[in-house]
Amino acid sequence: MAETASNPPLRVALEREGALLRLTLARPKANICDAEMIGALQAALDAHRDTPALRGVLLDAEGPHFSFGASVEEHLADRCAGMLGALHALILALAGCRVPVLVAVRGQCLGGGLEIALAGGPIFAAPNAQFGQPEIRLGVFAPAASCLLPWRVSALAAEDLLCSGRSIGAETALAIGLVHALADDPAAAALAYFDEHLAPRSAAALAHALEAVRAPRLAALRDDLARVERQYLQRLMTTRDANEGLDAFLAKRAPAWEHR
């Protein structure tokens, strides 16, 4: 299916007799996490938050790739405040979900797409999966990933991904703790995990277990997201190179850095 503005950005389904909420990014091949996609994800989480027997969420994607990332146009200086606010609200909703959020990744999982995946729980990846935060190549940085990557990997590994902009393969991602498991069919692996480990549990017990283990991190995440959002909007976006990098990407030319 080609990506067009008329395609609904997200498929939403209650499966396993209402025990599983399945959210499928549905604009392949890029599955860009733009304002419409972010809004659809937030609306789906809000609509099903109080489903009584819910024991899990599966976040996956149509097509060969999970997501190429956020909309570069929405990162421009006159639009990025709204985009960041909506994305960070979604990050908090995923990180604070009262049931585990399982993520299934094929192909590219980059930028804002990886930030959304990081806000969930275990990531199940296909052997061909690639993970990266390429924002630095555009003269900017990844605010949410700056807060979320250290939940998953070491500080040095987080700095490597954030400062190099490089992508890593699934086996490397597994080795550093970014990925939970590898599977040829990551969605099937995530469903098998759900059926074995989550479906037999009490929804009430799961909610309390997650609240207990996440409370300190969620409080820190709220503060950290607010801090990096201020840094991005009030400091980074006043630099010449941030605007040059975004403009150069959209113009399909090499950026000319002036280091200011």
Using pLDDT thresholds of 50, 70 and 90, give the confidence band for residue 78.
confident
Cα first-last separation, the chain: 42
Model confidence pLDDT, tens digit, residues 8-66? 999 999 999 999 999 999 999 999 999 999 999 999 999 998 899 999 999 999 999 99
Looking at every residue in the chain, the average pLDDT score rounds to: 95
Domains of the chain: 10-186 (3.90.226.10)
Model confidence pLDDT, tens digit, residues 228-258? 999 999 999 999 999 999 999 999 999 999 9
Model confidence pLDDT, tens digit, residues 79-95? 899 999 999 999 999 99
What proportions of the chain, in percent to the nearest 5, are helix, strand and coil? 50, 15, 35
- H helix runs in 134-202, sequence order: 143-152, 155-164, 170-175, 186-193
The encoded tokens of residue 227 equal 């801090």
Running DSSP on this structure, what letter comes out for residue 75? G
Using pLDDT thresholds of 50, 70 and 90, give the confidence band for residue 7.
confident
User: Average pLDDT, stretch 198-216?
Assistant: 96
